Structure 1
Amino acid sequence: MTDSRSSRALQTRIVHAETELKPGFASFATPVMRASTVIFPDLATVRAADWRDDSQWRYGLHATPTSAALAQRIAAIEGGKHALLQPSGLAAISNVYFGIVKSGDDVLIPDNVYSPNRDHGEWLARDFGVSVRYYDPLIGAGIAELIRPNTRLIWIEAPGSVTMEVPDVRAIVEAARARDVVTAIDNTYSAGLAFRPLELGVDISVQALTKYQSGGSDVLMGATITVDHELHLKLKRARMHLGIGVSSDDCSLVLRSLPSMKARFEAHDRTALGLARWLKTRPEIAAVLHPALPDCPGHSLFMRDFTGAGGLFSVIFDERYSPAQIDAFVEALELFAIGWSWGGANSLAMPYDVASMRAASGWTHRGTLVRFYAGLEEEADLRADIERSLAAALA
């Protein structure tokens, strides 16, 4: 048989190149496999493709070997069996809503929830006929009294990423399971390292891989992690219909950072706790909201369920200082940048108007809240930066 390849034009031979690579190459890095089109060996394989089968390759939007490797590792960190990747933490939250909730359903959201989650719930209530109600994050077993026949989903955030209350996850899960209500938790605070919600019976753990998993402040990604296969399929179907996927290049960046995540998390934890303890001694500060400190709401639950806190905590300034003065303090900081996200090497600070964030009562502090994120700088330098800024802005 004549080999027709030798008679093909140069351009065709460039497109259909025959590359011979020697076997045996090995590396610590997961290969970056990019694809929109996935090549099938034959039509029988095409016709047998089933979106429910995670072992099949169908289209680059749904999975590549690189994204599948990251999903498997994220699931393992959380103690789950399945993980789905989304292009941001908020996309992961959206995936939960559209996978679980329909018109006529009821959703319970903690009053200290991540603001975009609150906005998402209110959008569903306004435009999609979903009932959305807010509960005291410290309600614990009392949440059973709020569950209605049509309650389909209970959100948990542990702790609240701004006000830092630590909920009784075990009690909330027990009440939800007794009424066959799905629970979903935003577990970004602990990165799946310091808190294991799936082991406590939570149905869905949501992570913003943008944070500690990435560690570089340069990748947006989210994940939903589950144990139950049928629940995983509900989320997978919703993700497929929403048409959301992740870049293999972004996955490779997160994969590269995972081996150092625990060491970085522990370094952030040490620095943040040191700063929090020091700030409690400052006369400008009325309260320090760090779950590892005894006077933080839910501290006993934190000590029961968590093994660490990471780099995030908040402080309440004395009410004698105006919001404008607190803004001046934040802007005078040199080592703390002003930014929403966290999880990277650089420290951050952001003032919040808590009263505008909450729908229910229970917030008694009157001073302005500033959330700090302790990066990987030396604690002594961060302390000096805060001290200098306090003197400059609040004297």
Structure 2
Amino acid sequence: MAEINIGPEHLFIAMAIVAPYLLLVRHCRYQRAHTIQARFSERPLSSMTVKEAHEIFRELRELEFPYTLHSAMKLSLLKTGSIPTMTKLFVATRQLNEKNASKRAADTEVVLNEVHDREPGSDSHLMGIARMNYLHARFRKAGKILDEDMLHTLGSAVVDILRGVDRQEWRQLTDVERCAIGVFHKALGDAMEIPFTFLPSHETGWRDGMHFAEELYDWTLVYEKVAAKPTDSTKYIGRRLVELAKVNVPAPLKPLIEKVVITKLDDHSRISMGFEKPGILVYAFARGILNVRKVILRYLSLPRPDSKAVRVLNENPDPKTGLYTWNLWIEHPWYIKPTFSNQWGLKAIMVRLFGNGAIPSANGPYKEAGYDLRTIGPAAQETRGQEEMEAIFQSLKGASYATGCPFHA
């Protein structure tokens, strides 16, 4: 076997190649953060509008921290399984049983992504909010969904975004980015008619989005500790939600995946849903993976270019059907277009080998043709409430809530 000799000249050549790349990464890695921060270098954060906040928030979701922000949405949905008033309703409506869970999860994420990613004030954005408001309305009127639960759901999204980035990402959020998250969610809460009377500054008002986000963050964590209690419904719903996370992974890895998911929960949420605390080795494994990822992104990876933006939703509907498809495959391929890559790509192969075998197909059982925001949701509600939804939509459109700043006229 030929002997391989590595001399100083080889090391010099390697360093001559690697060093400029590392310097380029160092130069470019924070440019997006600096650019976002510079937009308010001569303006107070209190002047940030909803549209400006959304532009920043979308940059974070699609370019800067797509993995963490989309994971934060899933974690917030999982944590609803720790609140007894919510899980009692889920059990009563049978929307998270074994038969319906995958569609309910897909519908929820579709609507939330429509609200988060479409241009504020656009028809799709407002229709997503109108659909949420309509589906919640009868339960709120009946007292089955409490105002506190609505505020907790909104607050949980803020908590998981802020905490997720600070704990898992290669850099911290800037004040401008925190403000944008607060502005966006304040405007969304207003549109969803969520009362903020539980927050300390509800009478005097908030200085800016960052102030609002901080108060909502603190209130949410306190509320969770009081409200999250183990019941039969929290244990059942918690189990159903965690099952969704591991359905299409190899069987030998399912126990590890479950334990890694559980490491993301606070103790009160974990106990409420009936899960045992993972061992120290699982926590070490999960932290190790995150730390390696941080180093790779911070020191070895160039920023994601605009051409590689992570977009969950497709920009335009199918010209023939008028329906939208999306790119996020959860348990079953709900609303996933049956393209060659979706039928034979890596995800499809994983499903064929280790999952439930459900692959998108033309005229398949998972509405692969797409969704209509006016009908998405439980089957019993697909053909109901059109007039109510249209009234909500027109009210939102007339209010122009997405213009200006939600804190200052």
Give the strand-richer structure, 1 or 2.
Answer: 1
Higher helix share: 2
Q: TM-score, normalised by structure 1?
A: 0.30
Q: Which has the larger radius of gyration?
A: 1
Q: Structure 2 length as normaliser, TM-score?
A: 0.29
